[in-house]
Amino acid sequence: MTHVYDAVVIAGGAARRLGGADKPALTVGGRTLLDRVLDACADAARTVVVGPRRPTARPVDWVREDPPGGGPLAALDAGLRRTGSGTVLVLSADLPFLTPATVRALLNAVHGTDGTHGTHGIHHGTAPGPDVPDVPDGAIVVDDGRAQPLLGAYRAESLRRELALLTAEHGRPANLPLRLLTDELVLRRIAPAGPEEARDCDTWEELASARSRIREHGRVLNEWMTAAKAELDLDLDVDTAALLDLARDAAHGVARPAAPLTTFLVGYAAARAGGSPEDVAEAARKAAELARRWAAEAAGAAEAEGTGKAGGSGESRGGEGTDAG
């Protein structure tokens, strides 16, 4: 089910454990941490990034917390003021492995469309509550026993209510701990869609580990394709397996340099045809069929060579005059 929501991405903070580096601008797999998080919520009706302006791969609304560096609660307050949807996704900007799957799971949990019913999995603040409503104030990810309020989806009305109460009590939300708000909310707790989606990068060691992980076998190709499409400003679903099969057939059936050249020609032909996924698939199909015909023809020629036949014509390779004596 599709849910309408706005996204607030918290991209400020001093990053003290990184020596004051601009953490959201650090790269993993050639893309900034901020851009990787923005990819996970690309279908948000509005995306508000709270922090200093930086280049991003897609347009976002920018706002600063008051005062700058005033902490996550102040950042949430500033971002929430720019939203209009009834549901708000709240994310930190240092989640390199976050995907839309976890975002969807959070939204489904808030709206009760995740297959759970009643109060199952719902906590009031940080401790279970005996009398909680069926409809929660939000949903957060809990990974390895660690609750992550900056990886959650919330009802905007609930956030505004608690922020108003905190402001009335403390004057403004700057430099207040985020738990003062979340402890007052009824939250459904869910696991991330994948084992690393809640993994953040707070230290240089964690950043180095993330950079190493994306280069592992089974992950590196998808990471590279995503980065390349972003760099080339391409919004296209690519059937990687089909293109790899085509490259293999061209390399084995024709010559190794034929693989990159053929995939280039497929891309060019697809672009001329309109650039849709269907155009790519059709161009790849035609090229793959040509590669198969080429390989079959080469195999036939090799077989004929081995049996002393020229092209299977039935003529002797020596022609007339093969008898020496």
Taking residues 24-36, what's their average pLDDT?
91
The pLDDT of residue 136 is 92
**Of the segments 5-19, 75-89, 160-174, which one has the largest average pLDDT value?**
75-89
Q: Check whether 98 has a pLDDT greater than 80.
A: yes
Q: How confident is the model at residue 245 (pLDDT cuts 50, 70, 90)?
A: confident
**Of the segments 47-56, 106-115, 262-271, which one has the largest average pLDDT value?**
47-56
The pLDDT of residue 323 is 41
**Of the segments 78-87, 248-257, 293-302, which one has the largest average pLDDT value?**
78-87
Q: Check whether 160 has a pLDDT greater than 70.
A: yes
Q: Of the ranges 70-74, 92-96, 206-210, 251-255, which one carries the lowest mean pLDDT score?
A: 251-255
Residues 6+ apart with CB under 8 A from 139: 106, 107, 109, 110, 152, 153, 154, 187, 188, 189, 190
pTM for the structure as a whole: 0.75
Taking residues 125-134, what's their average pLDDT?
47
Q: Check whether 317 has a pLDDT greater than 90.
A: no
Q: Of the ranges 54-58, 88-92, 129-133, which one carries the lowest mean pLDDT score?
A: 129-133
Rounded Cα distance, 83 and 73, in Å: 16
Classify residue 168 as exposed, middle or buried by CB count within 10 Å of its CB (0-12, 13-18, 19+).
exposed
Strand partners, 153: 89, 139
Classify residue 141 as exposed, middle or buried by CB count within 10 Å of its CB (0-12, 13-18, 19+).
buried
Asked if 283 contacts 270 with a C-beta cutoff of 8 angstroms, the reply is yes
Q: How confident is the model at residue 292 (pLDDT cuts 50, 70, 90)?
A: confident
The pLDDT of residue 277 is 85
The pLDDT of residue 125 is 59
